[in-house]
């Protein structure tokens, strides 16, 4: 019986899996890797919001806005929860870096 040799350069993952199912005994893959690492085709260059570089997320600013007893502020007053809002913003900035 005569064998046909077919070479497929850079097969997709799907092609490789289909060929493996059909020709598992005869399939040869001389390449080292059957997949490509992310760093070879994805390049992430983050751009951080300027708020993350500002004094608005500094501990000094958060402490300045903190009031132990906010009950005498109306709930819609900025001072009611300003400290915690800037603390959340600071945490988000830290997580993004």
Q: Which domain holds residue 81?
A: 50-96
Residues 30-76: tens digit of each pLDDT: 766 667 776 677 777 878 889 999 999 999 999 988 887 777 788 88
24 falls within a domain: no
77 falls within a domain: yes
Q: Is the pLDDT of residue 29 over 80?
A: no
End-to-end CA distance of the chain: 62
78 falls within a domain: yes
Per-residue model confidence (pLDDT) at position 31: 66
45 falls within a domain: no
The domain tally of the chain equals: 1
SS3 58: coil
80 falls within a domain: yes
**C-alpha of 86 from chain center:** 23
């Amino acid at each position: 019986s005569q064998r046909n040799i077919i070479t497929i350069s850079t097969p997709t993952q799907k092609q490789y899996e289909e060929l493996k199912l059909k020709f598992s005994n005869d399939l040869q893959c001389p390449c080292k890797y059957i997949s490509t690492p992310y760093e070879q085709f994805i390049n992430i260059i983050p751009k951080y919001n300027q708020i993350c570089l500002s004094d608005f997320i500094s501990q000094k600013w958060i402490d300045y806005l903190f009031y132990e007893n906010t009950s005498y502020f109306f709930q819609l007053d900025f001072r009611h929860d300003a400290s915690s809002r800037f603390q959340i913003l600071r945490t988000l900035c830290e997580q993004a870096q």
